[in-house]
A = this chain, B = another copy of it.
Amino acid sequence: MIESCLYRKLSHYVDIDDDSWDILARLEDAEESYSASAVVREIGTSADELFVVKSGWFYSFVLLPDGRRQIVSIRHPGDVVGFADIAYENACDTLVAASDGVLCPFPRKHLQRVFTDAPRVAALLFTLAVRDQVLLTDLLKATGRMSAREKLAYFLLELDARLRITNPDKTSFRLPLNQTEIGDTIGLTNVYVSKSLVALEQQGLVSRKDGDITILAPDVMKAMCDFQDRHSQMDVGWFPGAEDDPHVGSKP
């Protein structure tokens, strides 16, 4: 049961005793498969479960009445999805599959048992939710105050940093998002995403080859957008029962 969907994600950051893991493992339902662009749950519908991404990319977005779209988070394997809806009865955004993928649902009402019986896990979930919040402020900084090229630099660096958690040595990555989706994430049109990507390429900052992206000058790009890696480190020193491992950073 230690092979639950959450295990690989959470054990990256913190040691959790077997009893707590037992609780988590028993809470996970059977997994669900989705094909690319399938809608997992629509905005406004009942949101009574969290999901753990087992494979594939997902993202969630909100729409304005006239069709303008804002993508608010992109989710990768190991991510926990749906924190934003815990405070409300109905989903605050629409969740779709960006590629084929598999989710493990986790009924929201089971969180009760996590909070009463596994405080260390509850604290970790809390921390993950709060980390999402920091990522949102980074994205807000980009959409609110950056030029198109700076936005793209941020967008690519953020994806790169996230993917390095599981693949520290990958120098390039495949982007299963089209340019309209990229634009809807950082507040641009698909047309200007294209033009700005070409510009970044001509500056020698990135290169593209059959849909794969390589970041050629990470330092220049990080300076462009004041980038900060939120993934390689998290502070779990305040966790219950954590006196002996005050700060757990990246993968050992």
Q: A119-B122, A137-B62 are in contact. Are A238 and B111 (CB under 8 A)?
A: yes
Q: Residue among A84, A141, A146 with the most chain B CB within 10 A?
A: A141
B65 with A133: CB separation less than 8 A: no
Contact of A144 among B88, B111, B143 (CB under 8 A): B143
A92 with B134: CB separation less than 8 A: yes
Provide the A136-162 mask, 1 if CB < 8 A to any CB of B, else 0: 110111011110000000000000000
A92 to B138, CA, bound (A): 9
A88 with B137: CB separation less than 8 A: no
A240 near B: Cβ within 8 Å?
A: yes
A113 to B125, CA, bound (A): 16
Closest to A73 in B: B137
A173 near B: Cβ within 8 Å?
A: no
A123 to B111, CA, bound (A): 9
Closest to A63 in B: B226
CB-defined contacts of A120 to chain B, threshold 8 Å? 115
Q: How far is the CB of A138 from chain B (nearest CB, A)?
A: 8
A235 with B137: CB separation less than 8 A: no
Give how many A residues have a beta carbon under 8 Å from the other chain's beta carbons: 60
Contact of A115 among B83, B84, B89, B240 (CB under 8 A): B240
Closest to A183 in B: B144
B140 with A234: CB separation less than 8 A: no
* Residues of A participating in the B interface, judged by any CB pair closer than 8 Å: 62, 64-65, 68-70, 72, 83-84, 86-89, 92-93, 108-109, 111-112, 115-116, 119-120, 122-123, 125-134, 136-137, 139-141, 143-146, 184, 186-187, 223, 226, 230, 233-235, 237-242, 247
Seed contacts A122-B123, A126-B126, A126-B129; 18 additional CB < 8 Å A-B pairs: A62-B141, A64-B141, A87-B127, A87-B130, A88-B230, A89-B247, A93-B137, A109-B238, A112-B238, A112-B239, A115-B115, A115-B122, A115-B239, A116-B119, A125-B126, A133-B136, A140-B143, A144-B187
